[in-house]
Structure 1
Amino acid sequence: MPVSSSLFSGLWIPLVTPFGAAGQVDHAALAALVRDLCGRGVAGFVPCGSTGEAAALTAEEQLAVLDTTLASASGLPVVMGVGGYRLAGVLDALQAACTRPVAGVLVAAPYYIRPSQDGLRAWFRALADASRVPLVLYDIPYRTGVRLELSTLLALAEHPRIVALKDCGGDAAKTAALIADGRLAVLAGEDAQIFGSVAAGAAGAIAASAHLHTERFARVIALLRDGALQEARTLWQPLLPWVQAVFEEPNPGPIKGLLAQAGRMSGTLRAPMTPASGALLQRLLSRP
């Protein structure tokens, strides 16, 4: 039977992964972060995405991060990031995630390989066939090197377990066509495009910058979905320059730096990621 896409709406947080001074995952800081965000209008959490530095985590660390998130999420749904470029390995990671009570998995195209659209359809169908939970597709060509074309996404929407899309494709016409089609819940993945996407009918957003100012992001999305355009615009316009500044340096450096300034975790990142500059952090702290 088809899986409902209605769960995948509102504001989702793609969690950073805190590290301790010795570089190990700081599970206490992660648990505290998740518990704090639970009361701020968040619809769900996505651990082990690109914001969570998943590529720098071992498979064991990724599952431990998932377990901490699930234990701290107060019943809110959790979608696990699963990625890679070797199908057997990604299938193993998906099956491991499915041993936990996850609401779904977030899966991108295999990076580096740059397959054809036929290859992408086969890739995602193989994962969906093997999964017991819904798939949220992740269209992010500037990380994977390959676009998910509209025809490919519409074909994949026929699969009963492919129900949503994290949209970082940068193609407004494709986004509009997917919203109009209605089979995939479209979640804005580019934070600066949240307002436009949700105003056009997207279901919500997966937004790294919403680690901060979380209630405001959640409120903007809720107002837009209720048709309160002017009130939503009033909240969004002063927030947008801050959102744009957060991504002036590689994510999640600025977000982690801001959380460290607030005393909520270390600002440590794993190589080759580097901390955000002091100048950018000071600028971000002064607004919105």
Structure 2
Amino acid sequence: MTLSGVYVPLVTPFDAAGGIALDAVERLAHEVLDDGAAGIVALGTTGEPASLTADERRGVLDVVGGVCRERSAPLVVGASTQDALDALAGTGATAALAVVPPFVRPGEDGVVAHFAHLTGPVPLVVYHIPYRTGQALSAGALRRIAALPHVIGVKHAVGGIDADTVDLLADPPADFAVLGGDDLFISPLLALGAQGAILASAHFATKSFVELVDAWRTDPVRARELGGRLAALSNAVFTAPNPTVVKALLHAQGRIPTPDVRLPLLAADPALVAEAVRISQGW
């Protein structure tokens, strides 16, 4: 399985009673696929999975899995433990998004050993986000992880373009997808050779994010212009903890029933939402 293109990590919309608006989940999934997204990520960070009950997570997965089966689209599901990975059997998931072990900082050898041991019914996309996990990984460590037979890619979100990012993409591992995970820096990462992205910002202007991926292969002048404009949109929706502004903007557009998030998240400042609404109107 080869991953490329834009994957949208869906929010989990809540209704006025505080439950999950599964009809809105289904509608969002169809909308982003209609606009050219290559696939969907369910129960990623943007979906607030830690705030959901087990039944709620299954409900989301059932709905998104149904859409992806209907549309023949890949479904990546957040699953970072052995139990969560094993539970994906029979769900229609095509890959799991598994975060580098957070907080404990096991060192590069420990991370490689962890992913060598973490196997299940679907292949893994490793989520490398050191400013959240506390664990840096060199290009060499990422190549060791890429050599594991059940690992097919990385969501690469290191907070910018560092030397290890340049090193990795200058000589990328074979049959291993580097997918950008920092929305603001996706254009330069694509310019270096990343195959695609997992972007919460792509709930909006989905067609343009898809075009950006393609343009870096065929029309760099267009890609630079488009990338700069999309960076402004991404910056606007990440001015408060994700997905607070994303959900507020989706609600303002009439695409989900409420802008609500669950604790420990709080609603985004209305001024930040207003700015995101203003910028989004250019798309």
TM bucket, shorter chain? over 0.9
Instruction: Output the CA distance in 2 between the equivalents of 1:148 and 1:273.
Output: 28
Q: Deviations over 1:116-140 (max 9, x none)?
A: 222211211111xx32321100001
Give the conservation status (yes or no) of the 8 Å contact 1:59–1:93: no
Q: Which residue of 2 aligns with 1:13?
A: 8
Q: Give the aligned partner of residue 246 of structure 1.
A: 237
- Unmatched runs of 5 consecutive residues or more in structure 1: 84-89
Using the size of structure 1 for normalisation, the TM-score is: 0.91
Paired position in structure 2 for 1:87: none
Per mean C-alpha deviation after superposition, the further-off stretch among 209-218 and 118-127 is 118-127
1:249 aligned counterpart, secondary structure: coil
Q: Residues 41-67 of structure 1: CA distance to partner in whole angstroms, max 9, x if unpaired?
A: 100010111111112122332222111
Aligned runs of 1:141-156 on 2, under 5 Å? 141-156=130-145
Q: Residue 133 of structure 1: which of 89, 114, 122 is its match?
A: 122
- What is the match of residue 231 of structure 1? 222
What is the correspondence of 1:161-240 to structure 2 with a 5 Å cutoff?
Answer: 161-170=150-159, 171-179=161-169, 180-183=171-174, 184-226=176-218, 228-240=219-231
Match of 1:107 among 89, 98, 112: 98
Question: Paired residue for 1:123?
Answer: 114
**Local SS of the residue matching 1:97:** coil
Q: Deviations over 1:165-203 (max 9, x none)?
A: 000123532222222233321001001111111111100
Deviations 1:87-112 (A, max 9, x none): xxx11110111321211000012222
In structure 1, the partner of 2:72 is 75
Report if aligned partners of 1:63, 1:97 keep a CA contact under 8 Å in 2: no
Q: Is the 8 A contact 1:135 1:161 kept in 2?
A: yes
Q: Give structure 1 regions of 4+ aligned residues with deviation exceeding 4 angstroms.
A: none
- Which structure 2 residue ranges, 5 or more long, are not aligned? none
Once the 2 structures are TM-superposed, how far is the Cα of residue 39 of structure 1 from its aligned partner?
A: 0.8
> 1:15 deviation in Å?
0.9
Using the TM superposition, give the Cα deviation of residue 276 of structure 1 relative to its aligned residue in structure 2, in angstroms: 1.4
TM-score, normalising length from structure 2? 0.92
